[in-house]
Amino acid sequence: SSMHVLVLFFPSWILRMRNVHTEAVQAALAKYKERKMPMPSKRRSVLVHSSVETYTPPDTSSASEDEGSLRRQGRISSTPFQSHSNVEPWLNRVIQGSSTSSSASSTSSHPGGKSAAASNTAPATTAATVLADLMAHTQIGVPVNSRVSSKIQQLLNTLKRPKRPPLKEFFVDDFEELLEVQQPDPNQPKPEGNQVNVLKGEPLGVVTNWPPSLLAALQRWGTTQPKAPCLTALDTTGKAIYTLTYGKLWSRSLKLAYTLLNKLTTKNEPLLKPGDRVALVFPNSDPVMFMVAFYGCLLAELIPVPIEVPLTRKDAGSQQIGFLLGSCGVTLALTTDACQKGLPKAQTGEVVTFKGWPHLIWFVIDGKHLAKPAKDWHPQVRDASSEIAYIEYKTSKEGSTVGITVSHASMLAHCHALTQACGYSEAETLTNVLDFKREAGLWHGVLTSVMNRMHVISIPYALMKVNPLSWIQKVCSYKARVAVVKSRDMHWSLLAQRDQRDVSLSSLRMLIVADGANPWSISSCDAFLNVFQSRGLRPEVICPCASSSEALTVAIRRSHPRKAVLSMNCLSFGVIRVDTEEKLSVLTVQDVGQIMPGANMCVVKVDGTPYLCKADEVGEICVNSGASGTAYFGLLGITKNVFEAIPVTAAGMPVSDQPFTRTGLLGFVGPDYLVFVVGKLDGLMTVSGRRHNADDVVATALAVEPMKFVYRGRIAVFSVPVLHDDRIVLVAEQRPDASEEDSFQWMSRVLQAIDSIHQVGVYCLALVPANTLPKAPLGGIHISETKQRFLEGALHPCNVLMCPHTCVTNLPKPRQKQPDVGPASMIVGNLIAGKRIAQASGRDVSQLEDNDQARKFLYLADVLQWRAQTTPDHPLFLLLNSKGTVASTASCIQLHRRAERVAVALMEKGRLNVGDHVALVYPPGVDLIATFYGCLYAGCVPITVRPPHPQNLATTLPTVKMIVEVSKSACILTTQAIMKLLRSKEAAAAVDIKTWPTILDTDDMPKKKLASVFRPTSPDMLAYLDFSVSTTGILAGVKMSHAATSALCRSIKLQCELYPSRQIAICLDPYCGLGFALWCLCSIYSGHQSILVPPLELESNVSLWLSAVSQYKVRVTFCSYSVMEMCTKGLGTQTDVLRGVNLSCVRTCMVVAEERPRITLTQSFSKLFKDLGLSARAVSTTFGCRVNVAICLQGTAGPDPTTVYVDMRALRHDRVRLVERGSPHSLPLMESGKILPGVKVIIAHTETKGPLGDSHLGEIWVSSPHNATGYYTVYGEEALHADHFTARLSFGDTQTMWARTGYLGFLRRTELTDASGERHDALYVVGSLDETLELRGMRYHPIDIETSVIRAHKSIAECAVFTWTNLLVVVVELEGSEQEALDLVALVTNVVLEEHYLIVGVVVIVDPGVIPINSRGEKQRMHLRDGFLADQLDPIYVAYNM
């Protein structure tokens, strides 16, 4: 019996395995033997599943604790990539799928290289060599046989397969981005038959003494035949536990009606009045109580609303049921004692209020709670009227629940029609397996049965689960004449029937198959007949019927069966073609008999006006009869649409003056006026203009070895809209014992089978652990809830395969670059359009009053000596530690003396000559500043270097070594502690420590006087080198002359109005760019006091910087994005740390950046600290880059930074199109501060190098006295950047020498005026040129794609994108449990398609902190790419999109 329990849950679809369909699927799969797909890779912790019932995916990541904490630390510097022994030695075998044994041997030893080439012949090898070439040239530095690359290679191979034929026309999506629009194929099948007119059913016969209402029938049988059995209930062993007689049903219903109307009061008023709605909450195992409750309500003139028993607060669809109860105004729920005890309770002991439900009073209707009616009380048994009798709930495709009202007259007419169609007679016995609360189970087993005084044997779902044969045994033992079942019940019994020899079905005259309209019911019916014909089952007994909640029973078979074999392809165009040839893609359907007595029927077009269909066209079946539902309760709009449809002829004439009800069934009328149903509107998916039926796709998927793989045949298919079309999603529960290989193989085969048979691509295929999909009341899958979870990222799949490359055929055409416009026509064009050339500059410094001082202050070493003489005790620096106390200070004289000592040490101990380079490896602090000036005093050239991270030498030390080597440093100055570290054993493991230059520690230096301070011979001599790693991973050092250094300080002094009396707070790293200038140079030049807050200290005390600003009442402060982010994230929740902090003193808070302003971060920072007095106008950003570290800086005067909104799609075409805030595809850009004094900026065309007009996107070029004089070296890229400092425009002003910043941006003249009274020109930075991705002929900025991705799901903490070959790779950090990892794959793919028209090639899901970030808070995307290709990310999951 245990074997049965496993098998019996398979729905009947599997029977298709025996017929055409399975053969078709096998044939389809045979065609694809050769194609290999890369298998997703998964971290082991995600693989380990415990038993199904207790399935809880592991919560922690696989990294051990200490490793995790180490990785966090690395975040501020650069991040270590831990290499992990990864999961998959066996993956290598699988990747090649079922490759022949000869290549398998090479596969296992050499992952990915040879066998892919071997099995894939020429194209693969050429691709591999092309890739090898590519990698050699792009210095990715990863051997081609690394596993990631071999998988991507396979992915590229699968993508080489020709797509569907290209589409001709485009439609315009409110801009030049053109999305392809599907044009009908001229050769597609079209309907050719004549228009089909309305079909009339046989008339309803006149029956003598037919009761005037259902209640009248109940009264008659209850009083004249009280002993006649009405309903027998069974327990889970199949024993009859109770038989309700007609007398009992009548008397108990009377008691209930009396109690409801007279005994329930609230504030001395009766609780209920006739016409009120009442919820009926009865379990599937208690038909007796349900029947009493139903008829009791009818007798009391209350309207029963039967619903499912809510088991938990989170039942699938429960919220929607609550919405229905609320809209029906339900206040009372009837239930049984046992059921009430099982409901979840609140602490008061009352039943909880379920999510979305109204507050209900629960009333238990067991005998002891009911009152005996008073002698003079008699219910009114009226004739059937158009008043509502009951409301049946129905859940739509979208998941909303509606209540369908059925009137007393309809209820009576339906019982009459069913009695006539099924030939029911008095006292017949009927077995019912269906849910008695709704649809056929209610119509046959509760209503029509009472009309005819029949005896119903009700078989609960729980019994069917234990013994699938129970219904057949009951038919046999009760000699039942009629049985009402679904095809799955026939199927279950087939799988279990082998033990039963003695059953006989000869008593049956009708076996009503309630879901006869499903595509798979035919195989169940055939197989069932095959087996049971020998046991007395006659072929004409099987009666499939078609019904819908709105129209009730639509048709039922009353004669011999007919079949049609239809072409699946034609059906997808809504055309019926009988197909005898094509074995592969056909659908076999059976008739569902004739239309119901007393009804009219027609078939109308599915969309738009209900025109009648042609004879060979599939349409929606519409019915006009006295026996259908009346309305959706309380919903007038959709009621009109569905219950009051007026079908019209091709000429537009109504076919009848009576309204028709749309049934939601798709079908046609076949020969002999038989009705055929080929699908449901609810399961309809329209993909690129072709219609597919969800049930058919399920059947195909199940025909791919279902027994081995899909758990209990549980598969859901639905469509989701992505990029202007429906995309098919298939979700299946996998057996708990399925291996990764099984699941991947099954997925690939399902894709191929569906592609072959339905000629449609599956967009996403997801596998979830057994028993995790939301269930419908009787064990099926709750489709709309599954879809909802998929879209919310709450499905938690254990395997995912996305195939956007095959499905998405409506992307815009790749952009074709226009031939370049000549310079002359551009200038003329700009003039004609009234556009000025985009050029702007800061204040002119040559005319300013501080010129004398500027000449005096040419050399910073002189300035420091002058300050040490004139204001020796003036404090220049205050360094704070993490507790917020002063760790060290330096006045002018102290700094001068320390610098002298350093200079002496360099000459005497270091034996250095003038012009030698010295690396300063110090933590942020006063030592760093003193040694910098010591170098200048000695005539040496300093280079500041970030010290290596002691816990993370492997990744941080090589950078130090590289800077020391590349800068040709002759000596390293550092502290004793760092000196030890540089020479340690651990360091030796990371770099060659024998090749360090002289290392001097400056901790205890002798107090010696310096004979003379070095004086440079010319201001153009080199002052210092500034080394920085760009976001693209290039180490670039720039040369700063003495003239440039003092000009930089002067510009900043003028912009920020810095004087000796001022204090500024700096929370930046002091190693490069503007951060270095503010730490080490500006205070010396302007004499102001700098409060130094090392960003590293914020890790142990987040509020350090803001507290310091408040404590010292600082007007001007600088920070980095990483600092701002730490404050926003770290202090957002715990503002109590900031007690007493007041930021109203801050006039300007500037974020030092080399990127597009992060507007969301600056805004949330301003918003968060507004309550502490931070002015909304205070926060702004600066902009600098390698060629000029300070181009823009807000400063203290001048207009506030402005924000504009540009169209993101225009940006991709290198155009600026200004739009309104909030318009679709709009992107906010904030001005990067004001252009500094002495700086000139122009926008140049990236290719022609010509000047551009106002609001045109181009490269930002800069000319200024503080430009760097050139690269000292760009490691590995010398030739590329030769013209960066000496560029000239190709026309216009060809004399000025410019430096190219490498950033895209535009200038825009605003309505504001600047300090000099001129119109203010705002500079907007869009992003670094090196970072942009060229995809499909367009230019994308990674940050835009990343912003979309981060919005896609709440658990995405960070994201970075890069390209590899021509694939877009998206890396997301998952902040949540690992079981959410695979939810992200589809959401990421969807959002990038929708917002950027790009197909994601690979989605990599990693732990938080894996994406490396530099000290400026910028993502190091190239490091990440190298780590990915070298397999060092230890990803949780890697999905390769097909």
Dump pLDDT digits (tens) for 222-239: 999 999 999 999 998 999
Cα gap 104→93, rounded to integer Å: 7
Q: Residue 761: what pLDDT?
A: 92
Which comes out higher in pLDDT, residue 139 or 298?
A: 298
Cα gap 1248→1312, rounded to integer Å: 32
Is residue 132's pLDDT more than 60? no
Q: pLDDT (tens digit, 9 = 90+) per residue, 1276-1330?
A: 565 556 678 889 998 888 889 999 999 999 999 888 887 677 788 999 999 999 8
CB 1298 within 8 A of CB 1267: no
Q: pLDDT (tens digit, 9 = 90+) per residue, 1050-1061?
A: 999 999 999 999
CB 1127 within 8 A of CB 1108: no
Q: pLDDT (tens digit, 9 = 90+) per residue, 878-930?
A: 999 999 999 999 999 999 999 999 999 999 998 999 999 999 999 999 999 99
* Highest mean pLDDT out of 499-513, 698-712, 1356-1370: 1356-1370
Q: pLDDT (tens digit, 9 = 90+) per residue, 378-410?
A: 888 989 999 999 999 998 888 889 999 999 999
Q: Which of 77, 630, 153, 646 is nearest to 387 (CA)?
A: 630
Look at residue 1209 and give its three-state secondary structure: helix
Using only C-alpha atoms, what is the Rg of the chain?
40
Least confident range from 146-155, 324-333, 752-761: namely 146-155
Which pLDDT band holds residue 1197 (cuts at 50, 70, 90)? confident
- Quote the crossing angle between the two packed helices 740-758 and 694-702, to the nearest 10°: 130
Q: Residue 713: what pLDDT?
A: 81
- Can you state the percent helix, strand and coil of the chain, rounding each to 5? 35, 25, 40
**DSSP assignment string, 759-800:** ---EEEEEEEETT-SPBPTTSSB-HHHHHHHHHHT-S--SEE
Q: Which token pair is 495?
A: 């799988």
Which pLDDT band holds residue 821 (cuts at 50, 70, 90)? low
Mean pLDDT of the chain: 84
Q: Residue 856: what pLDDT?
A: 80
Q: Residue 486: what pLDDT?
A: 93
Q: Which token pair is 1145?
A: 């003193």
Q: Residue 1199: what pLDDT?
A: 84
Cα gap 433→465, rounded to integer Å: 11
Q: How many residues does the chain have?
A: 1442
Instruction: Look at the alpha carbons of 117, 121, 123, 129 in this order and tell me if their dihedral is positive or negative.
Output: positive
Q: Residue 500: what pLDDT?
A: 65
Is residue 1's pLDDT more than 50? no
Cα gap 1072→1024, rounded to integer Å: 11
Which pLDDT band holds residue 147 (cuts at 50, 70, 90)? low
Is residue 134's pLDDT more than 70? no
> CB-based contacts of 559: which residues, under 8 Å, 6+ apart?
540, 593, 594
Average pLDDT over residues 302-326: 86
Cα gap 1201→1322, rounded to integer Å: 8
Cα gap 292→280, rounded to integer Å: 11
Which pLDDT band holds residue 150 (cuts at 50, 70, 90)? low
Q: Residue 812: what pLDDT?
A: 80
Q: Residue 330: what pLDDT?
A: 96
Give the burial class of 1197: count Cβ atoms within 10 A of its Cβ; 0-12 exposed, 13-18 middle, 19 or more buried. middle
Cα gap 155→103, rounded to integer Å: 19
Determine which helix (DSSP H) or strand (DSSP E) holds 338, and give its type and residue range.
helix 337-342
Q: Residue 826: what pLDDT?
A: 58
Q: pLDDT (tens digit, 9 = 90+) per residue, 90-118?
A: 333 333 333 323 323 332 333 333 333 33
Cα gap 465→285, rounded to integer Å: 12
Determine which helix (DSSP H) or strand (DSSP E) holds 336, and give its type and residue range.
none
Q: Residue 811: what pLDDT?
A: 85
Q: pLDDT (tens digit, 9 = 90+) per residue, 1360-1406?
A: 999 988 899 999 999 988 889 999 999 999 999 999 999 999 999 99
Average pLDDT over residues 922-951: 96
Determine which helix (DSSP H) or strand (DSSP E) holds 882, and give its type and residue range.
none
Q: Residue 119: what pLDDT?
A: 36
Is residue 662's pLDDT more than 90? yes
Give the burial class of 358: count Cβ atoms within 10 A of its Cβ; 0-12 exposed, 13-18 middle, 19 or more buried. middle
Q: Residue 157: what pLDDT?
A: 65
Determine which helix (DSSP H) or strand (DSSP E) holds 1340, and give its type and residue range.
strand 1338-1340
Q: Residue 10: what pLDDT?
A: 34
Is residue 126's pLDDT more than 50? no
Q: pLDDT (tens digit, 9 = 90+) per residue, 596-626?
A: 999 999 999 998 899 999 999 999 999 999 9
Place of tokens 């029927």: 601
Q: Which of 287, 290, 177 is nearest to 231 (CA)?
A: 287
Is residue 529's pLDDT more than 90? yes
* Highest mean pLDDT out of 146-160, 441-455, 493-507: 441-455
CB 22 within 8 A of CB 711: no
Q: Residue 1135: what pLDDT?
A: 65
Look at residue 51 and give its three-state secondary structure: coil
Q: Residue 20: what pLDDT?
A: 54
Q: Which token pair is 964?
A: 């020391």
Q: Which token pair is 109?
A: 């030893």
Q: Residue 50: what pLDDT?
A: 37
Look at residue 154 and give its three-state secondary structure: helix
Q: pLDDT (tens digit, 9 = 90+) per residue, 1236-1289?
A: 999 999 999 988 899 998 889 999 999 999 999 988 876 656 555 667 888 999
Q: Residue 824: what pLDDT?
A: 55
Which comes out higher in pLDDT, residue 943 or 268?
A: 943
What are the phi and psi torsion angles at 616 (to 5°)?
-105, 35
Is residue 252's pLDDT more than 70? yes
Q: Considering the entire predicted model, what is its pTM?
A: 0.82
Q: Residue 168: what pLDDT?
A: 32
Q: Residue 87: what pLDDT?
A: 33
Look at residue 685 and give its three-state secondary structure: strand
Q: Residue 124: what pLDDT?
A: 36
Determine which helix (DSSP H) or strand (DSSP E) holds 1222, and give its type and residue range.
none
Least confident range from 188-192, 543-547, 1133-1137, 1158-1162: namely 1133-1137
Place of tokens 């995309």: 727
Instruction: Look at the alpha carbons of 732, 734, 735, 738 in this order and tell me if their dihedral is positive or negative.
Output: positive
Is residue 17's pLDDT more than 80? no
Which pLDDT band holds residue 18 (cuts at 50, 70, 90)? very low
Average pLDDT over residues 252-266: 91
Q: pLDDT (tens digit, 9 = 90+) per residue, 20-67?
A: 567 777 777 776 665 566 778 877 655 544 333 333 333 333 332 332
